[in-house]
Structure 1
Amino acid sequence: MDYETLKLVWWLLVGVLLVGFAIMDGHDMGMGVLLPFVGRNDLERRAVINTVAPHWDGNQVWFITAGGAIFAAWPLVYATAFSGFYWAMMAALWALFFRPVGFDYRSKIQNPIWRSTWDWGLFIGGAVPPIIFGVAFGNLLLGVPFHFNDLMMSTYTGSFWALLNPFALLAGLVSLGMITFQGANYLMMRTEGDIYRRVRTASMLSGSLTLVLFALAGVWVASGIDGYVITSAIDGNSLPDPLYKTVVVKAGAWMLNYNRYDWAIWVPIAAFAALGLGVMFAQLKKAGLAFWSSSAAAAGIIGTAGVSMFPFIMPSSTDPRSSLTVYDAVSSHLTLGLMLGATVIFMPLIILYTSWCYKVMWGKVTTEYIAANDKSAY
């Protein structure tokens, strides 16, 4: 496989890993967001927790693999983003700390204050990371203030507070709504009674809100945000060199790919259609179809950002020439080829064992089950 093709394949594979993270980790984070609201007493909240507790750490595989893939396939993106977004990434990491401790220790002490505290800890662990990840995507669309010198040393000139601009916060809300919608639809499949009725309502609300916010973000990108365009020739098989190109900032540039590629427009259309269908299926009490619709919506939302920015991965607002793209932010030909071979082997294994685990442990989790298994349930 030639170098250019490998570069494009890894752009697609990183997107697949991010979508997998949004679907698999998304439903257990969405559970955390909904936990304090859909469970009105301790038994109900334990029932909600036990729908994801046996699986949540396995779902982290997608998160870890996505981070590892970015590190190995796009080392310049990893180095620049993780240093520039350092405090934002640390905030997400600190929020994630609540998850393993909350799942394991929440029900070990029969104290209402102790358990309520960890319920809200799980809420923080479920809500904060998707907001931060959405804010990061919003800033990528706006452009990130960094540049490279002639020795390829990157310098980030922004601040943590500058990341919290209006458009990025809107992107964060889209991400939070998407994750909450996913979690609500998953809980619809695993609960019944009063909990089911509450999560069904949460599904319709979060799905509708995500659709509106996603549409608002799209209008904002189309009419109020400048995009980036490479004006020099692109040699996809050349060695990576971010400074060996010319880039201009142009109004409406993030919409150009929808004219350039006939298939591109179907990505946001699919996102809108899936959001609408998810809300409709929740209304019709078709929990399984609602879950698959919200999963497709997550793929469409993430895909829309990727398609709009292609071939850019991390545009630079201070020195457009330093912008990182699919063609010049990557590892060597050999590294990409070896990683692709490992992916072909191990990704199907991950999907197979994850599917088997869910099949073995599938079923409704009820308050009666929790009461009967008080000592063994989470």
Structure 2
Amino acid sequence: MIEFLFDYTTLRMIWWILLGVLLIGFAVTDGFDMGVGTLLPFVAKTDIERRVAINTVGPVWEGNQVWFILGGGAIFAAWPALYALSFSGLYLAMFLVLFALILRPVGFKYRSKRDSRRWRNNWDWALFIGGAVPALIFGVAVGNVLQGVPFHFTDDLRPIYEGNLFGLLNPLAIFCGLVSLAMLVMHGAAWLAFKADGVVGERAAAIGPKAALLAAILFALGGVFIFLGWFGGYEVTGPIVWDGPSNPLRKIAAANAGAWLHNFQNMPLLWLVPLCGVLLPLVAAAGFRARKAGLTFFASQLSIVCIIATVGLAMFPVILPSSTNPSHSLTVFDASSSRATLRNMLFATVIFLPLILLYTAWVYRVLWGKVSEKDVHDADHAY
């Protein structure tokens, strides 16, 4: 059993799953932070109302970003070729995301430093940008990945990226950005309905069903686009050597318009994942209208899990397809770190990931309960 666990193929599969877990963890936790920032101008009209919305995420947003750091670290250590291409080739898009994310801590910390309406309004719009822009750009990135990224390798495995920022902003990628934005607005509204007392929670509960319905419609429409072949698709056409050395030049792959459906066709049970990705936002919409805040937030979380998992399951074993030379695409079996690196990282993950989960659960348990205008007014430490 131990030998099987540390088999190179098994380690690669484990780290592919862990990468998905970390990305989903980031979307589920930091996703409602971004959703709250996006909704801030619409659910809160007065200064005290905006402070209520901000303080629902104020104690937890920094901890939620740990998942983003863990995801980036996992890509760097477990999938170095993926890190090199995505973080350097998509540098301008990443810069926009980081710029927007930097606005969040500055906005949180500086907003209440001056008792000036103009000052606070400016920082509120900074928080809006810090929520909406990353939510949109992350979806745009997924859309480009589904279509294929323009890169190839030289004979000495030096990656060459041939795209630009404007090429990333194509219609299908922007469509995926809208899916992501609607999904996280739904999630932010679910969080506010769950945590904010009074008019802020009520306004969020009124906006939430519209965002949830839009997320379900857009995600289902994305499935139609994939079925029609608009998003393209890539598959390995030659024999797969699962435990071979990490060299993306030693395989044969091709573009195939129906490739993103093959895994679902070969394993029909997998269709439950995208199906839940459509149905769960509708459950969340019903929860908003029924004022079942706990059910709504839970359904919102699960819908994010299913939507992101659908992308991973559709692409497997491809991680990053190449539109200029499909045979240079990165896959689970030819883009990972060495067996020793994956094994040693797994030891560290087994020790520290449960600690992170336990600490996170404890923090949310301590901070349980709704945030009201009275709580914000009476607390000296509130934002």
TM bucket, shorter chain: over 0.9
What is the TM-score normalised by the length of structure 1?
Answer: 0.98
1:364 aligns with 2:370: yes
1:213 to 196, 211, 218: 218
CA RMSD between the two structures: 0.9
Shift of 1:262: 2.8
Report the equivalent of 1:71.
76
SS of the equivalent of 2:164 reads coil
Report the equivalent of 1:226.
232
Report the equivalent of 2:104.
99
- Mapped partners of 1:106, 1:225: distance in 2: 42
Shift of 1:226: 2.1
- Mapped partners of 2:268, 2:348: distance in 1: 32
Report the equivalent of 1:4.
9
Report the equivalent of 2:339.
333
- Mapped partners of 1:360, 1:225: distance in 2: 45
1:124 to 104, 107, 129: 129
Q: State the aligned residue count.
A: 377
The letter for the 1-side match of 2:302 is A
Shift of 1:207: 0.5
- Mapped partners of 2:346, 2:265: distance in 1: 31
Shift of 1:20: 0.3
1:170 to 148, 170, 175: 175
- Mapped partners of 2:308, 2:123: distance in 1: 30
- Mapped partners of 1:276, 1:307: distance in 2: 22
- Mapped partners of 2:125, 2:370: distance in 1: 24
The letter for the 1-side match of 2:52 is A
1:255 aligns with 2:290: no
The letter for the 1-side match of 2:304 is A
The letter for the 1-side match of 2:374 is E
What is the TM-score normalised by the length of structure 2?
Answer: 0.97
- Mapped partners of 1:49, 1:363: distance in 2: 15
1:191 to 189, 193, 196: 196
Shift of 1:195: 1.2
Shift of 1:273: 2.0
Tell me, yes or no, if the aligned pair for 2:172 and 2:231 is still in contact at 8 Å. Answer: no
Shift of 1:169: 0.2
Report the equivalent of 2:361.
355
Which string of whole-angstrom CA distances, capped at 9 and with x for unpartnered residues, describes residues 100-134 of structure 1?
A: 11111101110001100000100000111121111
Shift of 1:225: 2.8
Which string of whole-angstrom CA distances, capped at 9 and with x for unpartnered residues, describes residues 188-212 of structure 1?
A: 1111221121000121111011111
Shift of 1:145: 0.3
- Mapped partners of 1:211, 1:318: distance in 2: 32
2:330 to 291, 314, 324: 324
Percent identity between matched residues is 50
Tell me, yes or no, if the aligned pair for 2:35 and 2:132 is still in contact at 8 Å. Answer: yes
- Mapped partners of 1:144, 1:195: distance in 2: 41
Shift of 1:371: 2.2
Tell me, yes or no, if the aligned pair for 2:216 and 2:279 is still in contact at 8 Å. Answer: no
SS of the equivalent of 2:269 reads coil
1:237 aligns with 2:243: yes
- Mapped partners of 1:180, 1:349: distance in 2: 29
Structure 1 residue ranges, 4+ long, deviating more than 4 angstroms after superposition: none
The letter for the 2-side match of 1:19 is I
1:304 aligns with 2:310: yes
SS of the equivalent of 1:256 reads helix
Structure 1: gaps of 5 or more residues: none
Tell me, yes or no, if the aligned pair for 2:217 and 2:278 is still in contact at 8 Å. Answer: no
Report the equivalent of 1:88.
93
- Mapped partners of 2:185, 2:349: distance in 1: 29
1:135 aligns with 2:140: yes
- Mapped partners of 2:257, 2:30: distance in 1: 35
Shift of 1:24: 0.5
Tell me, yes or no, if the aligned pair for 2:219 and 2:277 is still in contact at 8 Å. Answer: no
Report the equivalent of 1:161.
166
Deviates more, 1:321-330 or 1:358-367: 358-367
Which string of whole-angstrom CA distances, capped at 9 and with x for unpartnered residues, describes residues 247-302 of structure 1?
A: 11112111111111232211101211211111111111111111111110101110
Report the equivalent of 2:3.
none
Tell me, yes or no, if the aligned pair for 1:226 and 1:249 is still in contact at 8 Å. Answer: yes
Tell me, yes or no, if the aligned pair for 1:225 and 1:252 is still in contact at 8 Å. Answer: no
